[in-house]
Amino acid sequence: MLKHTIKYEWLNLLRDRWVMILLILFLGITVFAVRNGKEKVEDRMATITKEKEKMGKLDRRMAAEIDSLNNNLKPAPEPWQDPRALDNIGWDAPRVVAMDAQPLAVVSTGQSDLFTHYAKPKIYGEAYTLGFSELSNPVQLLFGSFDLAFVCIYLLPLLVLGFSYNVLSSEKESGVLRLTLAQPISLYQWLFGKLLLRFFILTVIVVASILFSLTIFGIEWMGNMGAAMKLILLVTVYIFFWFLISFLINLLGNSSGSNAVTLIAVWVVFVLLIPSIISQTANSFYPVPSRTIMIHEYREAKALAEKKADEILKTYYREHPEYAPKDTTQQNQYSWWLGNFAASDVINQSVQPVLDDYNEALNRQQNWVNRLRFLSPAILLQDGLNDLAGTSPTHYTDFRNQVIAFANTWRHYFIPRMFNNEKMRAEDFGCLPTHSYSSAQVPSHYLADLMGLLFFLTLAIGGSLWVYRKNRFENVFSV
Amino acid sequence: MILKIALKELKEIVREGRFRITAITLFALLLAALFVSKSYYTSVNAQHSEAKKNARSEWVEQGQKNPHSAAHYGTYAFKPKYPLSLIDNGVDKYTGVSIYLEAHKRNEAQYAAAQDQTALSRFGDLTPDFVLIFIVPLFIILIGFNAFTRERESGTLRLLKSQGVSTWKLTMGKWLGIFLPVLLIAIPVYVLAALFLANIKDYGQFSLWALTLLFGVYLIYYAVFINITLFVSSLFKKSNLAFVTLLGIWMVSCLAMPKISTAIADKLYPYPTQVEFEEQIAADKKKGLDGHNPWNTEAKKLEEETLKKYGVDSVQQLPFNWDGFLMQEGEKHTADIYFKHYQLLKDTYVNQTNVYRSTAALSPFLPTRFLSMAICRTDYTSHWDFANAAENYRIELVGKMNGDMAANSKYGDWDYLADDKLWSSVPDFQYEPTSYTTVIRQNTSNLITLLAWLLLSFAALYGAVTQMKTI
């Protein structure tokens, strides 16, 4: 019997204009969203490619110049322009350390509009001053981008609610419900079946639209089946959660209008209110430590270290005899730089506690906020999507650390050569250290986010069972 | 008659559980937002004044130095937080809070709060503006979507007609019936905000007039939403459909349109990337005077001209320190380059702003958002104004350092040291925000768009209800 009613429902839905409208609407929105994401990712990759090409060109030009200088084809340039001097290479020919986009980066803009995606650390300079902020119109940051993540987090639930808010109430209002329940079927199963059918249709529409949009914009999802499946799974679970909420509200047996209002209230709470409340309270009760105060402490520590530099440097040379200026007959052309590195090491060591304290405070705040994400399925989905797209804050922090680590590698490539008073040779350009970005060590939130969403599913199912048991048929028939 | 209908509507709305729950929630949210924002504002302000004090003492107590080294050491300009930002924080989260002022270089404001926060902050914060601009329109839809459909569904619309009530009077009554509860929520918030702001220590920046203007803008915005709600309600036969349609309108104008406009603005007038921008500046700098490099061709030319002007044949014979003079000339040159490039950037930003202004015709949310930020001085224009003031201060500061060096030391004498007398003779950075007259002038188009929304939505409502069928 249940089979029959569901089959009838299926035929009914197929002939409904709504399904067609929904399909077209959603497809249009998704294509637009993926196009926006694609544009951002393309810009990002184009800049990185351009930067790498520029670096290659500069390398070749410098190598050629070294060759012609060594063969005395050209007069020697001013010392600070001589490409044979290692310090000039370390300063003028930095490597491009780039954060390549993940295959699914188009899915979510995440934090990618706040930060640059490459850096060129030089032989000298303080890591903390490396700028990572991107130049952008803050109004755009405030409004956010129309990406797939926005479509899924905000708009999808509304589609689900629009598609299901009157599943039971309309039957009741048209009087068909009495007829249906005269059949030997359980209301709970019948309603669940109806919603399951709608869930199935909507999921097919959503998944097809997403995959279609990804395909037409040439995003390799088939080659990244794992990531694509993860994306679909996450979105499907989210859709199912909202269907269950609708199921629960329908079971309360109120009118269509009242269902719509209640469901919108639930949407407002989960998607708008809880995230904004958490975000705001985190700022007030667990404030981000002040950068301005940190800078002051940093400058003070630095000034102190500089004042005592001579004294500290002596101790430092005792500990690192390799840095100490050697009294040799041949003057090392890099002695100024070597002294400078030693001094900056000393200064960096003394200001490190300030930076560490700051980062620790920042971590505490972020960890706290991260834990609170389990309070709303919308935050969980956002977090999961950013994780898949490689645009989460953790990815950017990790990238910054990789840049700082590379800055060190870069400097330490030159230091031993400077001690030997070596010169840059044309063939050395091939063996300069390079960096290849990997996000492998970023701890993934995906599984935790999925679990969180499944927990919300369980809650919704439990809630609907409880409601069903509690008021059985009473409300349903009180028309 | 209108008043009677309004009172009847009001009674009906207040008696409904739906209204009571949402109104109480809304009010509680607003209160919470106000209190939380206030504590945030106070702590940020305390940090700001501490940072400002620190920067000044760092500058004054930097010890004996060559003036040009002092210019390199530099100082910081901090962006003040205005009292009204506790109502609308605008783009403050996304703009830096401090600008490092040093010789040869104009720096961008650094340390935007959003960069140190998690992705959660991208959902938005529970600030009063979030409730006032996003949630209150939803509340209006919630209490007004069935204003006409309900009467139609229960057949009372025909009854009312038979009583001889003009539909326009009926509509005005219903209009007031929705507007009054909104006002009832808005007024205490206004009063409370005024009390909070009046009790803030640096009262100087706050004007009650601005707060009143801000609430005026919000009330116009609400009136637009009430018009739209009643308009839609008068068109539909069924409450459900009216509700879903209104929700769609809310979603498009408050959620989708800002993002769609952003996509359009970004497509038409893209911002350069940070590195592109810096490289364009560097390329221009390379061509011109280099204050630190006397071999530069431009510098050579200047040297010849100066020598000729003073009738001497070497820089040592000049009555001032050539190094200091050359560096100041270089400084002027780089300042011009920065000015040019920032002007180009500003053109892009103005173009983007114009995109938002034209899409405002499709969403009453946009003009309200921009007006609100402008009045609270948390919009992008205010940030630009601050950054320009900081740049002017930087030019002045570096000029004073180079000038002192040129006047008081000899060529080649890099051992010349100045002390805190010179440092403290540089006045502290003071920033006066643009006057409200300018703010209003800059936002005339937003104001006009919002008023057009008000008039047109009233006209549409009038047209719809006068032709409304009772069945």
Q: What is the pLDDT of residues B30-41, one digit of tens each?
A: 888 888 888 888
Residue A264 in contact with partner chain B when CB distance is under 8 A = yes
Residue A358 in contact with partner chain B when CB distance is under 8 A = no
- Note whether A369 contacts B120, CB cutoff 8 Å: yes
H-only helix segments in B360-443: 365-375, 380-408, 420-425, 436-442
DSSP calls for A426-473: GGGGGGS-------TTSPP-HHHHHHHHHHHHHHHHHHHHHHHHHHTT
pLDDT for B424 beyond 60: yes
**How close does chain B come to A297, measured CA to CA in Å?**
9
- Note whether A133 contacts B383, CB cutoff 8 Å: no
pLDDT tens column, A193-212: 888 888 998 999 999 999 99
Give the mutation candidate from A40, A49, A276 for the B interface (greatest B CB count, under 10 A): A276
pLDDT band of residue A290 (cuts 50, 70, 90) is confident
Give the 3-state secondary structure of A331-392. CCCCHHHHHHHHHHHHHHHHHHHHHHHHHHHHHHHHHHHHHHHHHCHHHHHHHHHHHHHCCC
Tokens standing for residue A228: 């694509």
- Note whether A135 contacts B258, CB cutoff 8 Å: no
Residue A382 in contact with partner chain B when CB distance is under 8 A = yes
Residue owning tokens 């840049």: A403
Residue of B nearest to A294 (CA): B51
pLDDT for A473 beyond 80: no
- Note whether A142 contacts B94, CB cutoff 8 Å: yes
Least-confidence region, from A13-22, A85-94, A265-274, A307-316: A307-316
pLDDT band of residue B294 (cuts 50, 70, 90) is low
Residue B396 in contact with partner chain A when CB distance is under 8 A = no
Residue B57 in contact with partner chain A when CB distance is under 8 A = no
The kind and range of the H/E element at B105 are strand B105-106
pLDDT band of residue A317 (cuts 50, 70, 90) is low
DSSP calls for A227-241: HHHHHHHHHHHHHHH
Q: Rounded CA gap, B441 and B453, in Å? A: 19
pLDDT tens column, A410-432: 988 988 888 888 888 888 888 89
Residues of chain B positioned with their CB less than 8 A from the CB of A272? 123-124, 134-135
Which pLDDT does position A358 carry in this prediction? 83
Which pLDDT does position A472 carry in this prediction? 60
pLDDT band of residue A186 (cuts 50, 70, 90) is confident
pLDDT for B227 beyond 90: yes
Residue of B nearest to A381 (CA): B120
> Are B36 and B126 contacting, i.e. CB atoms less than 8 angstroms apart?
yes
In total, the C-beta contacts within 8 angstroms joining chain A to chain B are 214
Give me chain A's average pLDDT, please. Answer: 84
Give me chain B's average pLDDT, please. Answer: 85
Average pLDDT rounded to a whole number, residues B143-149: 86
Which pLDDT does position B205 carry in this prediction? 57
pLDDT band of residue B471 (cuts 50, 70, 90) is low
Residue of B nearest to A136 (CA): B271
Residue A31 in contact with partner chain B when CB distance is under 8 A = no
Q: Rounded CA gap, B223 and A117, in Å? A: 45
- Note whether B262 contacts A146, CB cutoff 8 Å: yes
**How close does chain B come to A285, measured CA to CA in Å?**
9
Residues of chain A positioned with their CB less than 8 A from the CB of B349? 137
Average pLDDT rounded to a whole number, residues B291-320: 72
Q: Among A146, A295, A392, select the one facing B260 at the smallest CB separation.
A: A146
Residue of A nearest to B126 (CA): A276
pLDDT band of residue B470 (cuts 50, 70, 90) is low
Residue B117 in contact with partner chain A when CB distance is under 8 A = yes
pLDDT for B91 beyond 60: yes
pLDDT for A293 beyond 80: no
Residue predicted with more confidence, A322 or A419: A419
**ipTM rounded to 2 decimals:** 0.90
Please report, as a single letter, which amino acid is at residue B88.
Answer: D
pLDDT band of residue B319 (cuts 50, 70, 90) is confident
Residue B19 in contact with partner chain A when CB distance is under 8 A = no
Counting every residue written for chain A, the total comes to 479
Residue predicted with more confidence, B321 or B146: B146
Which pLDDT does position B136 carry in this prediction? 93
Residue A280 in contact with partner chain B when CB distance is under 8 A = yes
pLDDT band of residue B284 (cuts 50, 70, 90) is confident
pLDDT for A153 beyond 90: yes
Residues of chain B positioned with their CB less than 8 A from the CB of A369? 117-118, 120
pLDDT for B206 beyond 70: no
pLDDT band of residue B201 (cuts 50, 70, 90) is low
Residues of chain A positioned with their CB less than 8 A from the CB of B93? 142
Domain spans in chain B, listed from the N-terminal domain onward: 2-466
Residue B353 DSSP SS3: helix
Average pLDDT rounded to a whole number, residues A148-157: 93
Residue of A nearest to B117 (CA): A366
Least-confidence region, from A114-118, A315-319, B209-213: A315-319
Q: What is the Cα Rg of chain B in Å?
A: 30
Tokens standing for residue B312: 């001497």
Which pLDDT does position A253 carry in this prediction? 79
- Note whether B76 contacts A369, CB cutoff 8 Å: no
Average pLDDT rounded to a whole number, residues B329-337: 83
Average pLDDT rounded to a whole number, residues B95-116: 83
- Note whether A291 contacts B240, CB cutoff 8 Å: no
Residue predicted with more confidence, B37 or A312: B37
| Closest among B413, B25, B31, B24 to A266, alpha carbons compared | B25
pLDDT for A29 beyond 60: yes
Residue owning tokens 């760092």: B58
Quote the DSSP letter at residue B315. G
Residue A269 in contact with partner chain B when CB distance is under 8 A = no
- Note whether B263 contacts A146, CB cutoff 8 Å: yes
Give the mutation candidate from A254, A279, A379 for the B interface (greatest B CB count, under 10 A): A279
Residues of chain B positioned with their CB less than 8 A from the CB of A299? 58
Percent of chain A clearing pLDDT 90 (strictly above): 31
pLDDT band of residue B290 (cuts 50, 70, 90) is low
Quote the DSSP letter at residue A96. P
The kind and range of the H/E element at B101 are strand B98-102
- Going by C-beta distance under 8 Å and a sequence separation of 6 or more, which residues neighbour residue B114? A114, A141, B93, B94, B121, B122
Least-confidence region, from A296-305, B381-390, B392-401: A296-305
Residues of chain A positioned with their CB less than 8 A from the CB of B353? 139
- Going by C-beta distance under 8 Å and a sequence separation of 6 or more, which residues neighbour residue B283? none
DSSP calls for A241-299: HHHHHHHHHHHTT--HHHHHHHHHHHHIIIIIIHHHHHHHHHHHHSPPPPHHHHHHHHH
Which pLDDT does position A479 carry in this prediction? 43
Which pLDDT does position A16 carry in this prediction? 73
pLDDT for B215 beyond 50: yes
Average pLDDT rounded to a whole number, residues B284-299: 68
pLDDT band of residue A389 (cuts 50, 70, 90) is very high
Main-chain phi, psi angles of B127, to 5 degrees = -105, 160
> Are A183 and A1 contacting, i.e. CB atoms less than 8 angstroms apart?
yes
Residue A112 in contact with partner chain B when CB distance is under 8 A = no
Average pLDDT rounded to a whole number, residues B367-378: 93
Residue A12 in contact with partner chain B when CB distance is under 8 A = no
pLDDT band of residue A127 (cuts 50, 70, 90) is low
Q: Distance from first CA to last CA of chain B, Å, rounded?
A: 23
Residue B227 in contact with partner chain A when CB distance is under 8 A = no
